[in-house]
């Protein structure tokens, strides 16, 4: 075996934590995009409600853009939900692997202690 079970599990924990950070990064990008879309929608509502003749002439364009932004907002909300679940899944996997790595390290330490005690007992028995 190239390494101990605990060392392999620790490496997997590091990889899993990296996957978790990547999922969190994607989620934060989606949230930032959602905020941007919501700000734009709010600006469009203000423009449509304005009494400025320029905005009145562009009301049809504003309505179409608002409709597209609403569709994009719904799409981003769905993506956000999926990404939140993925972050939770990746975090859970990493936590489980960390628990398994700790248990493996404990088992290896116990086995090493037992082996040392057996070696000591053997050495003592050979002297007699």
Which has more pLDDT, 17 or 56?
17
Q: From CA 120, how far away is CA 36, in angstroms rounded?
A: 69
Task: Report the 10 Å Cβ neighbour count for 77.
Answer: 13
Contact (Cβ atoms closer than 8 angstroms) between residue 4 and residue 112: no
Q: Decide which of 74 and 121 is more confident.
A: 74
Q: Is the pLDDT confidence value at 2 over 60?
A: no
- Please compute the mean of the pLDDT values over residues 98-102 and round it to a whole number: 95
Residue 125 confidence class, pLDDT cut points 50, 70, 90: confident
Task: Check residue 17 and give its pLDDT.
Answer: 96
Share of the chain above pLDDT 90, in %: 72
pTM of the model: 0.77
- CA dihedral of residues 71, 72, 77, 83 (deg, nearest 10): 140
Tell whether the torsion through CA atoms of 15, 83, 44 and 59 is positive or negative. positive
**Separation between Cα atoms, residue 69 and residue 63, nearest integer Å:** 10
Q: Where does 49-58 have alpha helices with state H?
A: 53-57
So what's the pLDDT on residue 1? 44
Distance CA(53)–CA(26), nearest Å, equals 41
Over residues 26-75, the pLDDT tens digits come to 999 999 999 999 999 999 988 888 888 877 788 889 889 999 999 999 99
DSSP 3: S
Q: Which residues of 45-67 are buried (b: 16+ CB within 10 A; e: fewer)?
A: eebeeeeeeeeeeeeeebeeebe
């Amino acid at each position: 075996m190239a390494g101990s079970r605990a060392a392999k599990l620790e490496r997997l924990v590091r990889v899993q934590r990296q996957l978790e950070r990547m999922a969190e990064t994607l989620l934060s990008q989606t949230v930032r995009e959602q905020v941007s879309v919501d700000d734009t929608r709010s600006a469009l509502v203000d423009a449509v409600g304005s009494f400025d003749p320029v905005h009145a002439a562009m009301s049809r364009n504003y309505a179409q853009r608002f409709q597209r932004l609403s569709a994009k907002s719904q799409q981003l909300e769905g993506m956000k939900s999926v990404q939140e679940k993925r972050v939770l899944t990746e975090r859970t996997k990493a936590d489980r692997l960390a628990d398994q790595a700790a248990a493996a390290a404990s088992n290896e330490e116990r086995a090493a202690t037992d082996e040392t005690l057996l070696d000591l007992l053997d050495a003592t028995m050979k002297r007699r």
